[in-house]
Structure 1
């Protein structure tokens, strides 16, 4: 049984990945929505479809992480 990965989950993952890349380079205080979307290749409205703000990216990932092995 192959599960097809939805484009929505890929987009959300790409945005989160861009956040973590920027976080590692600049620290949490210097990461902006503009930086995330630029690095991930999406626009701001796409970002806001998935997250409330920059901090929400981090919070959503922390909620998921304990369940990943």
Structure 2
């Protein structure tokens, strides 16, 4: 279980950071990346935490 928690934490941090940067870069073209930063952060945290949780904790294999 400890390995799963470590794997989850690493995946969540990496995915959240990369998704936040990607969303900020998409908003940079419009010039409104500062105004949309809180919304981008909320979206990236939700997706960045739920996706690794599904990948790590709800898989059928016992690895």
Fold in common (TM above 0.5):
no
Structure ranking higher on relative contact order (CA contacts 8 Å, 6+ apart):
2
The structure having more radius of gyration, on CA atoms, is 2
